[in-house]
Amino acid sequence: MDLHKEVLEHEDELIYLRREFHKIPELGFKEFKTSEKIYKYLKDLGLEVEKITQTGVVAVLRGEKEGKTVMLRADMDALPVTEDTGLPFASENEGIMHACAHDGHIAMLLIAAKILSNKKDQIKGAIKFVFQPNEEDAGAKYMVEDGVLEDPDVDAVFGIHLWSPIESGKVGISSGPFMGSHENFELKVKGQGGHSGNPHTAVDPFLPLANIIQSVQMIQTREIDILKPTLIMFGQINGGTAPNVIPGELEVKGSMRYLYEGGDDSEECPEKRFERIVSNICKAHRADYELEFFPSNSTLINNEKTTKLVEKAAEDVFGKENIVNYVCMAGEDFAEFTAKVPGTFYFVGAGNEEKDCTYPHHHPKFDIDEDSLKLGVEMHLKSVFSYLNR
């Protein structure tokens, strides 16, 4: 069974599919055209296909022999970014762009499904092909709630992200904590408005807010072990109407990430530490506050056993010298799956300076080295066979 040769035979279609999906980017839970194209493609392969979680699609391939069930996942949603690549297959939807390689993920999984659908006699067990909506805003959580891991029950899950920070031809894999927990927060600091010439008659919210922005940084370096990476970032401040008016309220928004299992209800978790500082600073300044956290995803933790299978497959596809031990603080809702069943998520390098494919994800000029697509397909195939037929 020469999987490498078979993938190469489908490379033209693989690139064609990626470009077709790149042209029609759609935001989370609005992937209507994308979903329909995927559904039809999988139906034409003779698979059991159903819609789930609004625009999600799940297809099941059952091998001729009994065995376990493995799940492969691709995300479908695009971003509210205006494309500036100049590509001949650039986005046709103004203000929306596949700036995170999800178009490539779809294409890779469809071709993997096509190749595997012709190998039922060689498959021991079942394969679920999952096309997930709204990855950018925790769509996996809703798929789990809707039963994506059931009927048949999933025993292991694998996922790939094409990744421009890693050079094309390399792969990033690591067991244990792999991608950061991520949640956003909104903080309102409430003072008392007044005239800037008479600040003693008001309660200026700028002072406590400035103090909060600086003071919470000590959580990362003074309260939590430096070997447990933690990030508290502020991204937006709103408030005020004029330079000579003390506003009654200021609002700040930001994000919190950590690369360990730290999100609990104890007083030691980062969220509780954050609120302790906010509360005491506001009290010192005679101000009030409102604080709300919006969880996006938990820490993505790769299972040791499934990761070893992926590493073995990567040795065959990339060569041992091109395997990079890699972790990052970016969030990924694939963590919802690995929290329930053993699984591994990993990065296939898609950066290439010669092809101008080095822009960061979510950038208007973001693009991938399309040579990485075939490597992703082969990794899907070898991971499946390694798990089901071991």
For residue 154, what is the DSSP state?
P
Those residues whose C-beta lies under 8 Å from the C-beta of residue 71, and which sit 6 or more positions away, are 127, 128, 130, 148, 149, 154, 156, 157, 158, 337, 341, 343
195 is in an annotated binding site: no
CA atoms 371, 376, 377, 381: torsion sign = positive
Residue 352, both tokens: 């290439």
Q: Mark whether 77 is an active-site residue.
A: yes
Catalytic residue among 26, 31, 103, 135: 135
Catalytic residue among 26, 77, 155, 367: 77
380 is in an annotated binding site: no
Distances, alpha carbon 364 to alpha carbons 17, 84, 90, 165, 359, in Å = 21, 5, 11, 16, 9
100 is in an annotated binding site: yes
Distances, alpha carbon 350 to alpha carbons 11, 99, 147, 385, in Å = 16, 13, 32, 24
* Among the listed residues 35, 72, 75, the one whose alpha carbon sits nearest the alpha carbon of residue 55: 35
> Phi and psi (nearest 5°) for 185?
-135, 155
> Three-state SS for 184?
strand
Those residues whose C-beta lies under 8 Å from the C-beta of residue 226, and which sit 6 or more positions away, are none
223 is in an annotated binding site: no
4 is in an annotated binding site: no
* Residues assigned a catalytic role: 77, 135
Residues annotated in the binding site, as ranges?
Answer: 100, 102, 136, 161, 362
Annotated binding site for Mn(2+): 100, 102, 136, 161, 362
